[in-house]
Amino acid sequence: MKKNMGSLDKGIRLILAVVLVVFYFTGIITGTWGIIALAVAAIFALTSLVSFCPLYVLVGINTCKKN
């Protein structure tokens, strides 16, 4: 699993994950949309921590800096 996410991309995803979780637990997003928001937040957090996004492979995107 080759890394394909740069640090800016990882940071943005982590911030969005935190925002979605906060929105859920403060009641701004509720019901089905809340569950979807939590799932998206979990995916964003996981992909940020491992620096790999499977969707990027399918689309051919790589935001990781070249060596």
- DSSP secondary structure letters along 12-60: HHHHHHHHHHHHHHTTSS-HHHHHHHHHHHHHHHHHHHHT--HHHHHHT
What Cα–Cα distance (Å) separates residue 33 from each residue in 13, 23, 24, 37? 18, 11, 9, 6
The answer to whether residue 5 is domain-embedded is no
> What pLDDT does 65 receive?
81
For each successive 10 residues of the chain (67 residues), what is the average pLDDT? 90 96 96 97 96 91 80
The answer to whether residue 58 is domain-embedded is no
> What pLDDT does 67 receive?
57
Distance separating alpha carbons of residues 14 and 8, to the nearest angstrom:
10
Domain with 26 in it? 17-51
The answer to whether residue 2 is domain-embedded is no
The answer to whether residue 31 is domain-embedded is yes
> What pLDDT does 10 receive?
93
Q: How many domains in the chain?
A: 1
The answer to whether residue 3 is domain-embedded is no
- Helix 31-50 × helix 7-25 angle, to 10°: 150
* Global pTM value: 0.86
The answer to whether residue 9 is domain-embedded is no
> What pLDDT does 25 receive?
96
The answer to whether residue 64 is domain-embedded is no
